[in-house]
Amino acid sequence: MSEAALARVSVRILEKEYQFSCAVDERAALLDSAEFLNSEMRKIRDTGKVIGLDRIAVMAALNMANELLKGRSRDPSLDSDIVHRVRLLRERVEAALERGQQLEL
């Protein structure tokens, strides 16, 4: 993928800024995904039962994976494309969290 086809995207999740690069045509989907993730993580944080960004992120990921699997069992046609997109999103979030944790050290 050429540099011209990439967009730099900045998202804020739980008051923390993350930078990503993605294909220009995937920018809107990445922003929507980040907003959804932020919303889910806020819900978990606001319960006060889970403390720590990494634990909140894991809990949100488990909740979303559970919903994905429930949806897949209802509609078997939801398969590789969705799984691939969720995997890419998870990898991007994990990479951003790793970079953030390394910067804090």
Query: Which domain covers residue 75, as residue numbers?
Result: 3-104
Q: What is the CATH number of the domain that holds 11?
A: 3.30.160.880
Confidence of residue 4 (pLDDT cuts 50, 70, 90): low
Please state, in angstroms and rounded to a whole number, the distance separating the CA atoms of residues 48 and 15.
17
Please report the pLDDT score of residue 82 as a whole number: 72
> How many structural domains is the chain composed of?
1
Please report the pLDDT score of residue 18 as a whole number: 92
Question: How confident is the model over 34-92, as pLDDT tens digits?
Answer: 999 999 999 999 998 988 888 999 999 999 988 888 877 666 666 667 777 778 887 77
Asked if pLDDT for residue 103 goes beyond 50, the answer is no
Q: What are the backbone dihedrals phi and psi of residue 22, each rounded to the nearest 5 degrees, phi first?
A: -150, 165
Its sign, for the CA torsion 37, 17, 20, 26, is: positive
Helix, strand or coil, per DSSP, at residue 51: coil
pTM exceeds cut of 0.85: no
Question: How confident is the model over 77-96, as pLDDT tens digits?
Answer: 666 677 777 788 877 777 77
